[in-house]
Amino acid sequence: MAEVVILPDAAAAGELAADIIGDLVQARPDAVLGVATGSTPLPVYQALAARRLDLSRLRAFALDEYVGLALDHPQSYHSVIAREVTGPLGLDPARVHVPGEGPIEHAGDVYEHALTEAGGVDLQLLGLGTDGHIGFNEPGSSLASLTRVKTLTEQTRRDNARFFDSVDDVPIHCITQGLGTILRARRLLLLAFGERKAEAVAAAVEGPVTANHPGSAIQLHPRVTVLVDEAAAARLEHADYYRYVHANKPYWQPR
Ligand code: F6R
């Protein structure tokens, strides 16, 4: 069962996630952090930046990137990661990787190779799409999938239109780590906030494991922590039990 922590707001979740990442970096300064883009992880990056930790040896791998957008477009995930992660956290740009470089037909294999060479991801941050995607693995994605080009759903393009002038400017294609890639990370930290995510959170945590809901793949992973606010937790059947488990967490369990 995933560990589910229900927090008062996104800022509190950001602080807890920063605690967890801080512990990881203290134990292993050159750890490999899997980073996500979008609005959800921003409080994590803000909390982490405020701690002024030495993260110069940390290595980072992004989950995904749009295809068909110049890498220096302000909304490319290369640009977003540079602006919101690499700079504010003081990471070494040479240690930060985003998929989609070079010929696109080989970019998935190249990225898988780089992940393997790095020894795999220690901690993967994940957001959750309103349609249930993690990374850009849209409904129907194979549970064993690896990094590859995918087609975004209309729902995801509408959700992400807020970052562009119009929905028509949101790319149709993306390259994303697969569900199989994500499941290889040694720990998953999924965050979701707001009532628009409530249904997807319930399906990911408590629904059947199904390619129809890619977020449910987290149930196949032995070490998952889910940080949600009250609104995103609203559809969880066992919310009271998760609160009770968290309140009675044995002292020997790491956070
Ligand atoms: C982004 C990513 C996506 C987002 C998801 C939620 O790298 O992989 O899965 O996490 O679309 O987006 P926000 O956080 O903007 O609601």
* pLDDT per residue as tens digits for the range 99-128: 999 999 999 999 999 999 999 999 999 999
φ and ψ at residue 34, rounded to 5 degrees: -90, 120
Tally of residues, the chain = 255
Average pLDDT taken over every residue of the chain: 97
pLDDT confidence tier of residue 65, bands split at 50, 70 and 90 = very high
CB distance 226 to 238 below 8 Å: no
Ligand 1 center to 141 CA (angstroms): 16
Q: What is the mean pLDDT of residues 31-43?
A: 98
Sheet harboring 148-151: ordered strands across?
64-67, 173-176, 148-151
Question: 38 in ligand 1 pocket by Cβ < 6 Å?
Answer: yes
pLDDT above 90 for 180: yes
Ligand 1 center to 39 CA (angstroms): 7
Residue nearest to atom 12 of ligand 1 (CA): 38
Question: 47 in ligand 1 pocket by Cβ < 6 Å?
Answer: no
pLDDT confidence tier of residue 255, bands split at 50, 70 and 90 = confident
| Token pair recorded at residue 9 | 């707001």
CB distance 227 to 220 below 8 Å: no
Question: 137 in ligand 1 pocket by Cβ < 6 Å?
Answer: no
pLDDT confidence tier of residue 164, bands split at 50, 70 and 90 = very high
Q: What is the mean pLDDT of residues 52-64?
A: 98
| Ligand 1 atom with least separation from CA of 137 | 9
Q: What is the pLDDT of residue 254?
A: 83
CA 98, CA 111: separation in Å to the nearest integer?
Answer: 8
pLDDT above 90 for 1: no
Q: What is the mean pLDDT of residues 30-56?
A: 98
Per-residue model confidence as pLDDT tens digits over 185-214: 999 999 999 999 999 999 999 999 999 999
Strand, helix or coil for residue 62: strand
| Token pair recorded at residue 235 | 């559809």
Q: What is the mean pLDDT of residues 242-251?
A: 94
| Token pair recorded at residue 53 | 């930790």
Q: What is the pLDDT of residue 253?
A: 87
Question: How many angstroms separate the most distant Cα atoms in the chain?
Answer: 51
Strand, helix or coil for residue 204: helix
Q: What is the pLDDT of residue 78?
A: 98
Ligand 1 center to 204 CA (angstroms): 14
**Active site positions, annotated:** 64, 131, 133, 138
Q: What is the pTM of this model?
A: 0.98
CB distance 233 to 202 below 8 Å: no
pLDDT confidence tier of residue 249, bands split at 50, 70 and 90 = very high
Q: What is the pLDDT of residue 111?
A: 98
CB distance 228 to 191 below 8 Å: yes
Beta strand pairing call for 32-35 and 59-62: parallel
DSSP at 117: H
Ligand 1 center to 102 CA (angstroms): 24
Residue nearest to atom 5 of ligand 1 (CA): 129
Pocket test for ligand 1, best of 35, 65, 97, 136 (most atoms within 8 A of CB): 136
Residue-wise DSSP of 71-89: TTSTTSHHHHHIIIIIHHH
